[in-house]
Structure 1
Amino acid sequence: MARIVVIGAGLGAMAAAARLAVAGHRVTVYESGETYGGGVRRFAKDGFGFDTGPGLLHLPAVYRDLFVKTGKQPLEECVTLTQVDPASRHVFADGTRVDLPNASRAGTVAALDTALGAGAGERWGDFLVRAREAWDRTRRPLLEEPQPTDPRLLDRDPYPALKAGLLRRPTTTLAQIGARELRDPRLAALLDSYAWSYGFDPATAPAAAAVLPYMEQTFGSWYVAGGMRALADAVYERCRQRRVEFVFGAHVVEVLEKDGRACGVRLTGGETVDADHVVSGAPPREPFPPEGPRPQEVATGRVTLCLALRGAREMDAVHRTVVHTGPGDSVTVLRPEDPALRPDDAHESVTVTRTVWTNAETDRTKLVEELLAATARVVPELRERLLWHELRTPEDTVRETGAAEVPGPALAGARGRLLPAPNASATPGLSYVGGWSHPGGGLAHAGMSGALVAGLIVEGAGFRGSQ
């Protein structure tokens, strides 16, 4: 039985902790904050509740596997999962609206043809066929296996872009796919919104980012009753059932080494904790070797506007609406039909999010007005119904998680600049887990990183991921 120290209590770190505890190791989690969950947070006031991190779950199979491998109760006995249908409503700048069904290729094609005109659905469907090819080429090395020893194998973009012609430059970015292959500004805006929701600028994101809409539209979008914080609660309880120890308010300032191997950590105040292995959920600080992966370039964060409204949610409201406010900008409005998030049936909680550059100056008054104006396009009588609002910016993310950025999932192409740190550190005995490490950010990806780290520690360097 090894002594394992886990730094941080994010979803990826807790997923690794639970798996390692089941394998017979003694696991202690040191979290600098006062609670678990990392960026999966909840804001509550006056009987209203809001997710201030992710609002939906994709690839729930990741957490189903975690609960199967760590206890008798499956995931669905610990949380209530519901497919969101329609998966999303899109309101474009010209007023056009379209509802996209959950995990239905044929339904999506038909909906786009009806809303945007004949041929729009076919072009989107053909795009998804090419996106599937990129997904199939990169699924295992990017999601199910440890990062390749030579990550340059993922430098080449796997998306089979349409030939651009002799006098045109090759298609290398997601924005170029929208312009050249979708050929409708509304379809391009739809594609762009998927990139922005994961923190990527479509103008610079590689064509490989096409796997993001493919993933959502193929495997569906799911909501956890009580809000996504309920998933963090369930993973924390599973860790406790497996006798994982948590120490909150404990800031790790240094990973200790002996004879070239990690041997413990030092806490604020000088206290040291011995360990046979250290698992870090914090952003990696060690330099990357020239032949290894480059640090992931992430410079975007999230603003969240929590709205407490009087009056019940109208009957034809949908869970998620994406409001396309103009070129390169969209706002996501989440309106879950969840009694746990409102004081009674005569009120409603609404969460509005936008991806922003973390280095941009924040004019809070202007930002609130812009978000309210976008939301008013899809929530009737919004301003008359508004009781109060709460704005959260990347500065709040820094205070809660230590970083303003929200890391995105790993993507192939772009010369490897969107590959995060490998799970196995250059220092023996030190591993990385969570959104800043392979396979990157997002609830599903964080859960995958926990499985990969546990596999590498339990099975050693020969571990090759799920089969």
Structure 2
Amino acid sequence: MEKQEKKTKVVIVGAGIGGVATAARLAHAGFDVEVYEKNDFSGGRCSLIHHDGYRFDQGPSLLLLPSLFRDIYTDLSTSLPSHLDLIKCEPNYVIHYHDGESITLSTDRAKLRAEVERFEGPKGGKGLEGFLSEAETHAQLSHELVLSKTFNSYVSLLRPSFLVNAIALHPLESIWSRTSRYFKTERMRRAFTFSSMYLGMSPFEAPGTYSLLQWTETVEGIWYPRGGFHKVVESLQSIAESHGAKFHFSKPISHVATDPTGQRANGIYLASPDNEKTRSKTKIPADIVIVNADLAYAHNNLFLKDGQSEDRKKGELKEPRLAKSLRGKKHSCSSISFYWAMDRVLEKLKAHNIFLAEEYEESFDDIFKKSDMPREPSFYVNVPSRIDPSAAPEGKDAIVVLVPIGSLLVEEHRTEEDWTGLVAKAKKQVIEVMEGRLGIKGMADMIVWEEVNTPVSWRDKFNLTHGSILGISHDFFNVLSFRHQARHPSVQNAYFVGASAHPGTGVPIALAGSKLCLETVCQDLGVPLPASYNVKGYKANSWLDIREGNRLWYVLEAWTSTILLLLVGIILGVSLVYGRL
């Protein structure tokens, strides 16, 4: 995109990963960008917690789908290795079961196959390869047909490329159902479905498409940015600032400003400090407004019928029906997350550890059907100091424990005493399970400092509707054309990016969403994307590198085999019919 004589002014509300990535893309493309963030730090859930030499990732703790990370740095005319030092996590996980057994998931295919065959028998390896083959198809098609495309209307679902491949994505079957086709033991089915928690969904409800997570973990590996996950945000913020973007922290906004018609965004109003008696708000003018705040929160608080008013009036929302609908949509789970500074190294823990409940399905039902804390939770334990020593003082460990719990969708009226009791119960259960399965004692006494996030604190810190840590759910009727796209439906020059907007939740998916947001803005303004977006990653340097298509003989062979199988099926069918007659 050529430099504009008068740069288009863009204001971004929120400095989460989606907002920072979009700021970097827009600034790189020649826009005048300013970001306003309510907290005094960037990254939102991708932020860090520090205490006395210990470092904890507040939210995401593993880097998946690395190609999407490489893509954004390439788009920004740089490279991922220039900004991040990624450490490979090996093994991927150690999974601890209630019966005392544990298994190790790895990117070493020989080791993984042996681990699977230990429980599945000699044919287990074949099941593993079949599962990963299907999961690879899900990953490739999702990248080509979903993560890189907008779905601005239901007509978008009728694209030939999508229709032809829709069945192969298995969107109407659950991950559990698809996994059960390849693994015959309950143990392995649990091992290859628990990661649906990363989507905030039950494996018994998450579409089969999302086995792409198991594929990227097993084939591409799990990675960790040295220095903490916030390094991703820092690097993108640095790139944005190098292109002139400005970031303003501790600056909550009141609402989005519009022109007299109420149909076009023209800036934002900053919220007045709590100690300021005047109602007068500071207006920040802009040509484009992009909202990275939680989607349901944004429609219920930031877009008013009278966007010229300096006062945010309750009940005067721009799209009240949409606001109510988004708030009432099925949301992903929340969590009680513990951040523990330990006085020693717990050798029996790897970087990523999973402790699964004995009543596996029932534990998910408690979360997603009853919106409560499971009677027996499955939980995830991350030890960043195991792979990055800078996360804790020498000879000590930093530990993060994530206990999935129902969001506040059903009820939001627990008292402070209720939450205190619930947190204490969760901590007691976690410690008892870890002590029992790891064979250690006195773990509570090893904790020298603790911080906790609950659904209430997730809601209050980051304006997350119902305290849902991953936004609106990803079931079939909350994705693609059913999910909110980048454009505001009735306010021109207003856009959205983040977990609850298309394409969805998770850091790599938010990065993909930032690209779709930029493309939408550029399309609406009639300006081209930067030349770096058209750079091809592969170049043939020799005739040895030229990629051939399938030769005619191979195509004919495939078609012949298919036709022969079809004919045999028809002959057998006819024979059975006439045999009965």
TM-score by length of 1: 0.86
- Match of residue 468, structure 2, among 397, 405, 427: 405
Once structures 1 and 2 are overlaid, which stretch shifts more, 115-124 or 196-205? 115-124
- One-letter amino acid of the counterpart of residue 405, structure 1: S
Aligned residues: 453
Match of 2:4 in 1: none
Structure with greater Cα Rg: 2
Distance change (3 Å), C-alpha of 1:7 and 1:216: same
Q: Deviations over 1:432-462 (max 9, x none)?
A: 1111211111111111111221222234488
SS in 2 for 1:347: coil
SS in 1 for 2:131: helix
1:298 aligns with 2:331: yes
Q: Is the 8 A contact 2:269 2:282 kept in 1?
A: yes
> Within 1, Cα distance between the matches of 2:428 and 2:27?
48
Q: Is the 8 A contact 1:300 1:405 kept in 2?
A: yes
- One-letter amino acid of the counterpart of residue 175, structure 2: L
Q: Is the 8 A contact 2:23 2:33 kept in 1?
A: yes
Match of 1:127 in 2: 131
Match of 2:56 in 1: 50
Instruction: Tell me how far 1:138 sits from its aligned partner.
Output: 3.1
Q: Deviations over 1:328-362 (max 9, x none)?
A: 4421111222222112x221111111221113764
Q: Deviations over 1:73-106 (max 9, x none)?
A: x33233310111111111222222221113x555
Match of 2:449 in 1: 388
TM-score by length of 2: 0.71
Q: Deviations over 1:295-327 (max 9, x none)?
A: 96324112211222222343x642111111221
Distance change (3 Å), C-alpha of 1:388 and 1:401: same
SS in 1 for 2:404: strand
Structure number with the higher strand fraction is: 1
> Within 1, Cα distance between the matches of 2:518 and 2:351?
35
- Match of residue 279, structure 1, among 276, 287, 290: 290
Instruction: Tell me how far 1:114 sits from its aligned partner.
Output: 2.9
Instruction: Tell me how far 1:199 sits from its aligned partner.
Output: 0.5
> Within 2, Cα distance between the matches of 1:288 and 1:65?
37
> Within 1, Cα distance between the matches of 2:45 and 2:134?
33
Runs (5+) with no aligned partner, structure 1: 162-169
Distance change (3 Å), C-alpha of 1:293 and 1:189: same
> Within 2, Cα distance between the matches of 1:127 and 1:346?
40
RMSD: 3.2
Match of 2:372 in 1: none
Q: Note the 1:320-335 alignment, pairs <5 A.
A: 320-326=352-358, 327-328=360-361, 329-335=377-383
Instruction: Tell me how far 1:160 sits from its aligned partner.
Output: 6.5
Match of 1:453 in 2: 517
1:83 aligns with 2:88: yes
> Within 2, Cα distance between the matches of 1:209 and 1:197?
10
Q: Is the 8 A contact 1:171 1:177 kept in 2?
A: no
Match of 1:423 in 2: 486
> Within 1, Cα distance between the matches of 2:87 and 2:139?
25
Match of 2:549 in 1: none
> Within 2, Cα distance between the matches of 1:107 and 1:288?
53
- One-letter amino acid of the counterpart of residue 37, structure 1: G
Identity %: 22
SS in 2 for 1:318: coil
> Within 2, Cα distance between the matches of 1:321 and 1:418?
36
- Match of residue 101, structure 2, among 84, 87, 96: 96
> Within 1, Cα distance between the matches of 2:525 and 2:54?
47
> Within 2, Cα distance between the matches of 1:392 and 1:458?
38
Q: Deviations over 1:228-257 (max 9, x none)?
A: 122222222222222211122222232223
SS in 1 for 2:378: strand
Higher relative contact order (CA 8 A, sep 6+): 1
Runs (5+) with no aligned partner, structure 2: 1-6, 273-280, 300-318, 362-376, 537-581
- Match of residue 346, structure 1, among 395, 403, 417: 395
Q: Deviations over 1:155-207 (max 9, x none)?
A: 9964566xxxxxxxx97323333455533111221233111232001222223
Structure number with the higher helix fraction is: 2
Once structures 1 and 2 are overlaid, which stretch shifts more, 228-237 or 444-453? 228-237
Q: Note the 1:52-451 alignment, pairs <5 A.
A: 52-70=58-76, 72=78, 74-102=79-107, 104-105=108-109, 107-114=111-118, 117-150=121-154, 152-153=157-158, 158-159=167-168, 172-179=173-180, 181-258=182-259, 259=261, 260-269=263-272, 270-284=281-295, 285=299, 286=319, 297-314=330-347, 317-326=349-358, 327-328=360-361, 329-336=377-384, 337=386, 338-343=388-393, 345-359=394-408, 362=419, 363-376=422-435, 377-378=437-438, 380-381=440-441, 382-383=443-444, 385-403=446-464, 404-407=467-470, 411=474, 413-414=476-477, 416=479, 420-426=483-489, 427-451=491-515
